[in-house]
Amino acid sequence: MPDNTRITAQSGPRPGIGIVHLGLGAFFRAHGAIYIAEAMRASGGDWGIVGVSLQSTTQRDALEPQGFAYTAVEQGPDGETARIIDVVQNVLVARENPGAVLEQMAQPNVRIVSLTVTEKGYCHEPSTGRLNRAHPDIVHDLENELPVSAPGFLVRGLQRRRAAGLKPFTVMTCDNLPENGRVVRAVVLELAGLIDPDLAAWIELEGRFPSTMVDRIVPATKTEDIARLEQKSGRHDASPVMHEPFRQWVVEDTFVDGQRPDLGAVGVQLVGDVTPFEHMKLRMLNGTHSSLAYLGYLAGYETISETVADPDFARFVERLWREEIIPALTPPPGEDLGDYADALMARYRNPAIRHRTWQIAMDGSQKLPQRILGTLGDNLTAGRASPGLMLAVAAWMRYVGGIDEKGQPIEVKDPMSARLRALSDSAEGSAKVAALLGLREIFPAALADQLAAPLTAAYEKLTRLGAQAAVMDLLGR
């Protein structure tokens, strides 16, 4: 594609760099980057973004010929609206030149390092939140000054700032983890303590790690999306992002020296405690998304909108909210959980958002603890039954076995996929449940003991009836 047919960044002066973002994937470009661009338009400030791809060159190679600008396409039930976003000013590839990433993080004008590296990118144990010291990337980062992991870059970047006499940057995670700021703080402090205890003490005293809650459905961009956009606009964009109209960003307002974009001017909720918001979102949206993903995939549905177009699956998810998830939640200030559930269902039904069940099913070993197991644990403690969530976890167990209900292979994308498949293959029938419950990285021992009987029953029902009929049986049909 000739360069003169590519989209380009706007001409004229650009804002200075204020943010380094690790993990410049579609979600951040369709969510946080747009808010930051809008905040600068509203209130000024030098908050331009340098993106960092930790491994792949794909994003850099796609965006560089178009000045790192890209198209964000809002997909609503009544059509699409596109706009150019040019807040990203460069993309570095960490595996090519880790020193350049650390040099950028150590620049005095960089005041925030944000992250969307997915749950697995924190190199932690999801069941405990602690650093996984046996993780190959962490082993490497303890032995080398040029890191490969996201926590390693944070620690080494902060180390360089301390050596230069600078304040630390604020670390702002934007991943779907409960108390995500506290998780990344704990991982950074533990890794820093292993490298230099004095560095860890400085980070603990001076650093800031705001927790955040992010929400916007961002389906994977497909080749036909790129072709359709080019046909409409007459310009080629190698890396557009698709997103739903809805968005929400809740941010704990604690930054080093209070320095941040004017996020409140563009609708970001700046709060003292993010926890009730993130529990609402992780359990009500992400928990049902994962439940629909595993059961819907096994039932043969490709997308969430197709899954909830089936009346049985729509009733199933409404039952999850009403009887199993909402009773275990404390509503955040100003939020009505029933209204929130209604809004979620409207978003799930949006036919323009083709959010694939297979995409949502990825990395389930990292997602289950915060999306579903927390609710199950709370309900067990309260004596509430959770047959729908039990069925969802059973569907995950069947899914990671790598064979669908028709005997066809499933491409399981998960950092633990080999172990999950080996454990599944090591047992027959419902004995697979006990084998998988033995994974302490996912299921703490006390919870596993409580889950064993009801989860085995759910798995037996699922394998006997199939996903579709098991959902119908749960609904009394």
Q: Are residues 238 and 315 in the same domain?
A: no
Q: How far apart are the first and last CA of the chain?
A: 55
Note the pLDDT of residue 4. 58
Note the pLDDT of residue 2. 45
Note the pLDDT of residue 398. 98
Cα–Cα distance measured from residue 261 to residue 112, given in angstroms and rounded to the nearest whole number: 10
pLDDT at 395 over 70: yes
Q: Are residues 186 and 315 in the same domain?
A: no
Note the pLDDT of residue 201. 98
How many domains does the chain fold into?
Answer: 2
Note the pLDDT of residue 156. 98
Q: What is the mean pLDDT of residues 274-294?
A: 95
Q: Are residues 217 and 263 in the same domain?
A: yes
pLDDT at 471 over 70: yes
Q: What is the mean pLDDT of the chain?
A: 96
455's tokens: 């989860």
Place of tokens 């700032």: 161
The CATH number linked to 257 is 3.40.50.720
Q: Are residues 253 and 306 in the same domain?
A: no
Q: Are residues 228 and 365 in the same domain?
A: no
The CATH number linked to 456 is 1.10.1040.10
234's tokens: 């007459």
pTM of the model: 0.87
Q: Are residues 256 and 403 in the same domain?
A: no
Q: Which of 271, 301, 319 is the last residue in one of the domains?
A: 271
pLDDT at 477 over 90: no
Note the pLDDT of residue 435. 97
Note the pLDDT of residue 128. 83
Q: What is the mean pLDDT of residues 410-420?
A: 97
Q: Are residues 211 and 299 in the same domain?
A: no
Render pLDDT for 227-247 as a digit per residue (tens, 0 to 9). 999 999 999 999 999 999 999
Q: Which of 245, 271, 297 is the last residue in one of the domains?
A: 271
Q: What is the mean pLDDT of residues 85-109?
A: 98
Q: Are residues 91 and 215 in the same domain?
A: yes
Q: Are residues 132 and 263 in the same domain?
A: yes
Note the pLDDT of residue 10. 83
Q: Are residues 242 and 306 in the same domain?
A: no
Note the pLDDT of residue 3. 52
Note the pLDDT of residue 1. 44
Note the pLDDT of residue 401. 97
Q: Which of 250, 271, 292 is the last residue in one of the domains?
A: 271
Q: Are residues 241 and 298 in the same domain?
A: no
Render pLDDT for 347-377 as a digit per residue (tens, 0 to 9). 999 999 989 999 999 999 999 998 999 999 9
HEC profile of the chain: CCHHHECCCCCCCCCCEEEEEECCCHHHHHCHHHHHHHHHHHHCCCCEEEEEECCCCHHHHHHHHHCCCEEEEEEECCEEEEEEECCEEEEEECCCCHHHHHHHHCCCCCCEEEECCCHHHHCECCCCCCECCCCHHHHHHHHCCCCCCHHHHHHHHHHHHHHCCCCCCEEEECCCCCCHHHHHHHHHHHHHHHHCHHHHHHHHHHCCCCCEEEECCCCCCCHHHHHHHHHHHCCECCCCEEECCCCEEEEECCCHHHCCCCHHHHCCEEECCCHHHHHHHHHHHHHHHHHHHHHHHHCCCCEHHHHHHCHHHHHHHHHHHHHHHHHHCCCCCCCCHHHHHHHHHHHHHCCCCCCEHHHHCCCHHHHHHHHHHHHHHHHHHHCCCCHHHHHHHHHHHHHCCCECCCCCECCCCCCCHHHHHHHHHCCCCCHHHHHHHCCCCCCCHHHHHHHHHHHHHHHHHHHHHCHHHHHHHHCCC
Q: What are phi and psi of 445, to 5 degrees?
A: -55, -45
**CA nearest neighbour of 117 among 182, 174, 190:** 174
Range(s) of the domain holding residue 225: 3-271
Q: Are residues 219 and 303 in the same domain?
A: no
Percent of the chain residues topping a pLDDT of 90: 94
Contact 387, 291 (CB under 8 A): no
pLDDT at 386 over 90: yes
pLDDT confidence band for 416 (50 / 70 / 90)? very high
